[in-house]
Structure 1
Amino acid sequence: MDATFGVPHWLTGVVIMVLAGAVILGGIKRIAKVAGKLVPIMGIAYVVAGVLVLIVNAGQIGEAFGLIFYYAFNPMAAAGGFAGAAVMAAIRFGVARGIFSNEAGLGSAPIAHAAAKTKNPVRQGLIAMLGTFIDTIIVCTITALVILTSTVWQEGEAGHR
């Protein structure tokens, strides 16, 4: 907010603190209500922004899929995968990303779905599975394609402080 709009850091912190406090102090029902409205908006905005980037870079989509399959099934990738430190790091970071990506296996999403009051538990289960599919297949694929169709992954990008 400071770099883009000139809003001081302390003011941004106070606003976030007040908004988060209002949600958290409202209890589980307010958290669910806010998340129920905010998460779909964030997900849709992310997918729309990703699709817009892919439209701009449409000519590189085929090449991006080629890179994905080439490096996934390349013998050098297999050889590198057997290196001890690389395997340990890959598992550690892969599991962490997988948990934070869709919570599969973590347990908090199933707890939330189990606590839902519904007249049709099968439909609730399908919704739970759909969330994992949307996140893992759609959102992660769009993210990978956006990164690979841009030149940022080759050149690097620095964040702002």
Structure 2
Amino acid sequence: AQLDRFLLRVEMSLPAAEDELEILRRSVRGELTGWSAEASLPAAVTSPEEAAALRSASRRVHVSEELLAYLGRLAAEVRKAPPVELGPSPRGSLALLESARGTALLEGRDFVTPDDLKRMLLPCWGHRILLTAEAELEGHSGPEVLGRVAESVEVPH
């Protein structure tokens, strides 16, 4: 339930050896936020007004009734998949919906596609599903289950 409060979970790999060395060099020079004696604030990437405008623009991105039904079918299929003990909640479905709208907006569209939903499926639901202990022992994973469900649910045309 605690993880359900987070909109997305983003996986990051470790840096390459040379990149890690550069991180260490920057730390020694005092250039890393929070790691030097005099921590500096990171530069803002947007203003509060721009963030509000983006949120408003996201709300204007159209989602067809067919896509809402598709999202509902995805959620239902994940919840009843045999290795899943606990599937995404309605909050998780809302997170996927809003993330897909944001994806469409970032790609310059005013409508959501099935691919937007599929693209955001793992970041939005990967941390929201709990597999049975037996399924985990058998080597099943959340990404595998989500991928299988995404392939099995008919995409609206």
Alignment TM class, shorter chain as reference:
under 0.3
Name the structure where helix makes up a greater proportion of residues: 1
